[in-house]
């Protein structure tokens, strides 16, 4: 496999940049394919695109197969641009390396190696063994990873990629002392939250938020875009205090309640919630205060529910727990140009920090205005 930087391309190869961009854009268009990655594929003959494909999720054809089908006879001798190393295993859909070999493609161009140990370099080896040239355009690697942050996190860190969303005033308050919090952020910000939910495999909240805000936490039809599927909504509710008439049951989409309490009363409440078509599971591990163990919750979502990307929309206590355990990859703060004063509720609750060196640190990844608010994205 040849590794090439963009500025080393010349002549006809300049088209490679355009085709690779298109393959990445096709991948990016997929809201979620979890636990699989978002993948896009373009088949080209010189400057001309002869086939396109993308992967829609478990059990669906891989991007390469869709593109091969789309190209038909024109796949022969074409150059294949795919946003991830092609797979070589016979999983739910059969090896893409095999399909590319059979179609007689000339060359495969990728930005990044698949982190899944079933593939991880073996796809490239399979192509090379079949006499197909493989080129990796190294300058597209970070863009390719950014489309699948959760998929890479799954294999590289054995956890989902976690986003924590919060809305606060200029002085870092989320609600008035009396609990009133509607609406700190404006309509544009709330619309943007919808687009983040749409990308998420799960939206996690705590029972406190269910009791105080009575949210639905689903993806609603915003800006004319029809929601594609719904994220799994997860409520951490140790004693199962969620009332059976909460609005969360009214919205379409799967629901999961995680509890850790014991005794007949909790078991009865679990039955009542199950009757409302929710999954209810006891999480074995709990911390000293009886709160659900956050790392175990994430492990459960990764392994049993196939979640690559998780969004936390919770109050100060649960959000603070995620931060203090170092489990937040991305912090999304909507800053509203209001002041709520020192009696307002704080953004995060995570105990005293005794030295500046111990303060959790993030770097600013972007700052964008939404209506009157500013959205600041921080990354670890």
Tell me which stretch binds ligand AOF (CB under 6 A): 1-9, 80-88, 253-261, 303-311. Answer: 80-88
Is 64 catalytic? The answer is yes
- Report the half-sphere exposure of 275 (CA within 13 A, side-chain side): 9
Count interface residues toward Zn ion (CB under 5 A).
3
Among 23, 26, 37, 336, binds ligand AOF (CB under 6 A): 37
Is 68 an interacting residue with respect to ligand AOF (CB under 6 A)?
no
Residue with tokens 């409440």: 269
List the catalytic residue out of 28, 64, 102, 330.
64
In angstroms, the CA 114 to CA 272 distance is: 43
Find the binding residues for ligand AOF in span 157-216 (CB under 6 A): none
Is 64 an interacting residue with respect to ligand AOF (CB under 6 A)?
yes
3-state helix, strand, coil in the chain (%, to 5): 35, 25, 45
Tell me which stretch binds ligand AOF (CB under 6 A): 91-99, 137-145, 212-220, 322-330. Answer: 91-99
Is 111 an interacting residue with respect to ligand AOF (CB under 6 A)?
no
Is 30 an interacting residue with respect to ligand AOF (CB under 6 A)?
no
Parallel, antiparallel or unpaired: strands 363-370 and 373-379: antiparallel
Nearer to Zn ion, 43 or 87 (CB): 87
Is 87 an interacting residue with respect to Zn ion (CB under 5 A)?
yes
Is 55 an interacting residue with respect to Zn ion (CB under 5 A)?
no
State the minimum distance, in angstroms, from the CB of residue 23 to ligand AOF. Answer: 11
In angstroms, the CA 284 to CA 28 distance is: 36
Is 108 an interacting residue with respect to ligand AOF (CB under 6 A)?
no
Residue 274 phi/psi, 5-degree rounding, is -65, -35
How far, in whole angstroms, is CA 29 from its chain's centroid? 13
Among 32, 36, 148, 189, binds ligand AOF (CB under 6 A): 36
Q: Using CB distances below 5 to 8 A depending on partner kind, what does residue 52 bind out of Zn ion, ligand AOF, none?
A: none
CA Rg value for the chain: 23
In the chain, which ranges are continuous DSSP H helix?
14-28, 63-71, 96-103, 122-129, 141-147, 149-157, 187-199, 207-213, 264-274, 294-303, 316-324
Is 19 an interacting residue with respect to ligand AOF (CB under 6 A)?
no
Residues with a catalytic annotation lie at 64
């Amino acid at each position: 496999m040849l590794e090439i930087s963009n500025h080393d391309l010349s002549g006809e190869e300049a088209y490679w940049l355009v085709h690779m961009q298109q393959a990445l854009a096709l991948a990016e268009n997929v809201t979620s394919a979890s636990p699989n990655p978002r993948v896009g594929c373009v088949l080209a003959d010189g400057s001309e695109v002869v086939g396109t494909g993308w992967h829609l999720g478990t059990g669906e054809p891989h991007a390469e197969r869709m593109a091969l089908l789309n190209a038909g006879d024109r796949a022969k001798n074409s150059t294949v641009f795919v946003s991830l190393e092609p797979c070589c295993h016979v999983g739910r859909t059969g090896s893409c390396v095999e399909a590319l070999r059979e179609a007689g493609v000339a060359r495969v161009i990728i930005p990044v190696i698949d982190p899944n140990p079933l593939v991880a370099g073996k796809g490239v080896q399979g192509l090379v063994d079949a006499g197909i040239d493989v080129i990796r355009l190294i300058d597209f690697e970070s863009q390719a990873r950014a489309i699948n942050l959760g998929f890479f996190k799954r294999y590289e860190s054995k956890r989902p990629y976690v986003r924590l969303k919060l809305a606060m005033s200029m002085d870092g308050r989320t609600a008035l002392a009396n609990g009133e919090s509607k609406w700190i952020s404006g309509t544009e910000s709330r619309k943007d939250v919808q687009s983040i939910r749409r990308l998420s495999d799960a939206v996690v909240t705590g029972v406190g938020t269910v009791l105080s805000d009575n949210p639905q936490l689903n993806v609603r039809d915003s800006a004319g875009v029809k929601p594609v599927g719904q994220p799994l909504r997860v409520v951490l509710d140790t004693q199962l205090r969620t009332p059976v008439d909460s609005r969360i049951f009214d919205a379409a989409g799967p629901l999961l309640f995680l509890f850790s309490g014991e005794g007949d009363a909790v078991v009865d409440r679990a039955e009542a919630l199950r009757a409302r078509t929710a999954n209810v599971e006891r999480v074995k591990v709990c911390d000293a205060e009886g709160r659900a163990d956050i790392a175990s919750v994430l492990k459960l979502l990764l392994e049993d529910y196939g979640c690559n990307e998780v969004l936390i929309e919770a109050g100060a206590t649960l959000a603070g727990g995620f931060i203090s355990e170092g489990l937040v990859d991305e912090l999304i703060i909507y800053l509203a140009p209001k002041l709520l004063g020192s009696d307002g509720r704080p953004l995060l609750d995570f105990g005293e920090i005794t030295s500046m060196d111990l303060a959790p640190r993030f770097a600013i990844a972007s700052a964008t205005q939404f209506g009157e608010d500013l959205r600041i994205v921080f990354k670890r």
